[in-house]
Structures are given as C-alpha cells and as structure tokens.
C-alpha cells in the first residue's frame, strides 16, 4: 500500500508534472483521445492537474491558451482515431490481442455507441477506454464527417473545460490543494472507473443469462 501511495505521489508531484512539460501534456491528450494504444494514459486527472498547477503558477502557461491547446489536442486526437477506424474497418475486430490492443475495449465502445448513438462521442469523453475507442469505432461504421466534427468539438470542449477549469477554480479557491493531489487523483480514478466496472459486470451477467437460456 505504501508503494502505491509513493507511486501516486511520484506521478502527481508538481516537479514530475513540470518536468514532463506543457507539450508532453498535449501529446498525452492527443494519444489518449484517438490512438488505440493510448487507452491507459491518464487523461482526466492530467487535465485536472494542469488546471490546478496553472492556478498556482507551477505550470508556466495561462489558463486561456492552456484550455485552447488542450481542446486542439483532443479534437485532433479524435480525428486521428476516426481516420484509423476508416482505414482499418471491420478488420480491426479480427485483430489479435496484444500489449497495445485489446479487442474487448473496442467492443465496449461499440456497445456504448449502440446505446447512445453519435452522442457517444460526447458522453464517451468522460469515460476512460471509451474516450479512446469511440472515435475509432465511429470511423469503422463511417459516421458522417460533418456529424462527427460537430460531436467531436462539443465533446472535447465540454471535457477539457470540466476538468481543467475544475482544477483551476479549485486551485484558486484552495491554494493548498496541490499538497493533497494524490487524494484528488485517487478520487478521480475511482469516479471515472466505476462506470466501466459496472458496464463490464453487467455485460458479463448478460452473457451468463444468455448461456443459461441456451442450455
């Protein structure tokens, strides 16, 4: 448990974040929002920390260019995922699992898309894994580019502003909050992961029920 807290402290410390740099942050957001091997990247709490450290002056960039840059990275990331989905098409579902690619992640995105339609591109921004694979699946099914562009911008603007401005405003109101970032990050991880755990368990239970009916 102590090693876990040490890992969180190292991951979320101001020095580590500053050492990574502003442009590395943009690359992480780009990768996590459309490149299939970026599903494990910590998009939500990095946005939150970016806003928090911006408010305390530990990130040397003002809030407006920070938000605009993050939105640009997120929008371009989704376009990259959409293009990848168009290029690979149905063959992606037959791709073998590897360290960087898990087929069930694409299936989760497919189920989410089937439930919410094109708005999954907006809602999916707030869920790890779905955030990465929803634009790829949109490319696979060839969603109209105009519709995709609309939802891409709406989703990214909502996602970036929610977490980055949230961190920024809390940092302005509670300047000492950066000393408790590990707890904030842990809370964000739990909140954003619970819906995926619920979806996974629900899908597993549904499969068991189908097997019982067949038997």
pLDDT, tens digit, 9 for 90 and up, residues 146-182: 999 999 999 999 999 998 998 898 888 877 766 666 6
Q: For residues 103 and 95, what is the distance between their CA atoms, to the nearest angstrom? A: 7
Token pair for 76: 């371009």
∠97-35-195 over CA atoms, to 5°? Answer: 75
pLDDT band (50, 70, 90) for residue 39: low
pLDDT, tens only, 205-214: 766 665 555 5
pLDDT, tens only, 126-146: 887 788 888 888 888 888 899
Q: What does the DSSP 8-state code read for residue 100?
A: S
Q: For residues 5 and 11, what is the distance between their CA atoms, to the nearest angstrom? A: 10
For the segment 199-209, the average pLDDT, to the nearest whole number, is 65
Backbone angles phi, psi at 49, to 5 degrees: -65, -35
C-alpha distances in angstroms, 72 versus 25, 143, 195? 12, 21, 27
Token pair for 21: 């740099």
Q: Where are the alpha helices (DSSP H) in the chain?
A: 2-12, 14-20, 22-32, 43-55, 63-88, 103-116, 120-123, 130-140, 145-160, 166-173, 181-214
Whose tokens are 């109101």? That residue is 173
């Amino acid at each position: 448990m102590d090693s876990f807290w040490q890992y969180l402290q190292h991951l979320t410390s101001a020095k580590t974040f500053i050492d990574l740099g502003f442009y590395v942050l943009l690359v992480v957001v780009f990768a996590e929002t459309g490149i299939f091997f970026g599903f494990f990247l910590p998009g939500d709490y990095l946005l939150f920390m970016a806003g928090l450290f911006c408010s305390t002056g530990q990130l040397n960039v003002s809030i407006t260019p920070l938000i605009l840059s993050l939105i640009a990275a997120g929008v371009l990331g989704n376009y990259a995922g959409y293009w990848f989905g168009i290029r690979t098409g149905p063959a992606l579902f037959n791709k073998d699992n590897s360290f960087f690619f898990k087929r069930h992640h694409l299936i989760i995105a497919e189920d989410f898309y089937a439930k919410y339609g094109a708005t999954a591109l907006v809602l999916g921004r707030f869920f790890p894994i779905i955030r990465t694979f929803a634009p790829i699946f949109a490319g696979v099914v060839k969603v109209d580019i105009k519709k995709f562009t609309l939802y891409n911008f709406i989703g990214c603007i909502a996602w970036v502003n929610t977490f980055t401005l949230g961190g920024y405003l809390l940092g302005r109101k509670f300047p000492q909050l950066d000393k408790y970032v590990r707890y904030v990050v842990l809370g964000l991880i739990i909140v954003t992961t619970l819906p995926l755990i619920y979806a996974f368990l629900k899908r597993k239970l549904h499969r068991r029920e189908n097997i019982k009916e067949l038997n």
